[in-house]
Structure formats: structure tokens, C-alpha cells
Structure 1
Amino acid sequence: AARRGRAARVCVVALRSGRFAGAVFEGRRQTAHRTFSRYTTRRGQGGAQSAIDSSGRAPKSIGSQLRRHGERALAAEVRSVLVEWRLEACDLIVVAAPRAMRSVLFAGDEAPIDPRDPRVQRLPFGLQRPTLAAVAQAYDRLGLIVVHPDTPAAPREGHGDPPRPPPSASEKEEARVEKAPEPTPAAPSGASRRLLEACEAGEARPRS
């Protein structure tokens, strides 16, 4: 959570296909940003060179050597930038990166981001191309996700109010009396019925 008296410090990092874009925000202010790209994928074919190498096919062409060099340069520059930004001072670190490139951020003893850090979260929606504009838009969208603490959430099963103790004998008796049905009046006998009819017709006379 943000420290009291200042806006939350949020870092948004996007990494894909040899491109990096990242920025640090404090409220509506952007305090740091960087973008750069390196040649790491074959033009028109996609796929990182490291992924091709790990599949057992390690081409020795000039292009493949350039792509390997580009991947190493990209990783080194990304790590240098994130160390420079002092992520330990951030309240939230949001990452958008495919699985194949997460090692740049998380792998090794000198990784700039610890994936076990509770401040680290995956971007909950897609990001097209890592650009500064896309990172800023992602930060704006994240600002729309608001939690209202004064709105009670529906209790989950097993996590609601504690169970009430069983009712006492007196409470059971009160509940029984309250729920007892109204007595149904008995149907009048023949003589009573004739007397009621006479009263309604005005023919009944009091006995002398």
C-alpha cells in the first residue's frame, strides 16, 4: 500500500519481441521512463533466438549470432534500467511479458525483480506492442480498478459470521407459540345456525 501522505509509486514494465518499454508513476506524474529495442527475432517469422536454440536447433548463421547478441544486450540493458529505478521504493510493480522472456526480469541471483515479491503483479489485460504510450495507457486502465472498502462483500461459504449457538428451551417455546396457527372456529350446530339466521333477519326475540 502507498505510504500515507503521498501517491502510490507504480512501475509498469512491458517486454516482448526484443522491445522494452517501462515507466514509473506517482499519481498522475511520470517520474521515469525508458524504451528501446534490439534485434532478437527473425524478420517476418517471429520467435526469439533463444527459443530456437533451446529446441535443439542452434543455427550458426550471421543472423542468428546477431540475434543472440541482441538478446544479451537487451537483458543487460533492461536489468540496468530497473536497478537504476530503485524498484524497492515502489508500492506496485506490474509486468507484461511472455513466458519466454520473463527470465530477463526474474532469473538469476542478480535479477532486478523477485517473482515472489507480493508487490509484483501480472498485467491483467493484454498489451499490444511495448511502447511508452501503451505503458501509460495500461497505467491509466489500472487506475480504474477500484476497491470500495465500505461495500460489504458477500460472505463466502465457511468465511461468514460465526455460527449461532443452538436456541435454549425458552426460545424454542416462544418460537412455537409465535408460529402456532390461529384456532379455526367450529361450525355452528343446527340450533345455533337457526338462531344466527334469525338474528340476521331481525326475527329473534329475547325471552321474557
Structure 2
Amino acid sequence: MKQRRHAKFACPLVAGVDEVGRGPLAGPVVAAAVILAPRPLPRGLTDSKALSEADRDALDIKIRDRAIAWCVAEASVAEIDSINILQATLLAMRRAVAGLALRPTAVWVDGNRSPGITGPLRCVVGGDGQVPAISAASVIAKVARDRQMADLDAQFPGYGLAAHKGYGTPFHREALQRLGPTPIHRTSFAPVARAAGAGQRTLDLG
């Protein structure tokens, strides 16, 4: 869990929250919570998926430097497989908010699902493209997860994790069938379960 706090502030402490990594076949789900100062806002804030990697990286630096507080948290692959991806996503969001160095006066979450946070809460469908604090959370969560997947690619070569970040691309699915799942693959996801089953049958046939 990572966080940042500025010593001085004079604005409502509204935290924007977003997640990245619900759909991939591998890796954790990562959430971020960000409390932005009202101005100056980093230029170019929007949904992280609409930005280039270079723009996300540049914004990531500005957000972490200018935010009143921020926190990046995650739910592990083991937690995803144990409690399902939706509940793991909500867990990561709760951890991100709990990890803020300042207690927010309100929390605005991207989407229509409440993570079960105590206090004033607003769910905003499409908030990552509309609400600056949620956009900021979207950006730093994605940058953090993308970098983590690049590191995992070095540990588990052959799957292309640095390129597709764990999503179920044709290359990734073919590698799963050929190499079998790794400890960072989500066995509760059907393509991974099928690959694991195929490997077990091959082993049984000896």
C-alpha cells in the first residue's frame, strides 16, 4: 500500500476512487483513492483508458505530487479466487480509502457499486471521465498495476504480461494452454481453469 499526504490544505476532502484490473486473467486488482486540491488541477485528467501510456505516466507524477492525499491498494489473486472478483474489487477500494493519510469528508466512487465505506458516499457511473478526483485515481491505479505486470513478466516469461497486462488476448490464452497457469493466474476465471484442467489431464496421461 502506498500513500502521500500534503501538510497544508484548505478545501473539502472529497476522495475519488477507481479500480483497474477486474477483467484480466492474471495479477491483482488495484484500486486508488485520491483527494485533490481544488486548483491547480493537473491538465489532461480523464479516464486512464483514454490516455496514452506516456500521458498516463506524466499525469501519475503530477497527481502524486499535487494531491492532498493518495493511496494505492490491491486485492491479491488468492483473494480474487477466494471471494470473487467483484468482492475483491470492493475490498481493494476499501483498502485504498482506509490507507489515505487524511480522513475524507466524502467518497466518490466510479461505477454503480458501493464498496461499503462508512460515511457520505456517491457512486458515479462514468465518473472516471467526469470527476477529476476519480480520473486521478483511475490514472495512478492503472500506472501502478501496469508497472507491476511488467515486473511480473520478468518473473513469468512467455505469457506476454508486460504487453497485455494479464488480459485474455489470443497470445495470452495460447500461452496458457501451452505453458499452463502460474501462481499469478486467477484460477476462478474460466480460461485459466480450463488451462489448468488440460495440464492435469496431460499429467494424468503421463
Q: TM-score, length-normalised on structure 1? A: 0.32
Question: Which one has the bigger helix percentage?
Answer: 2
Q: TM-score, length-normalised on structure 2? A: 0.32
Larger Rg: 1 or 2? 1
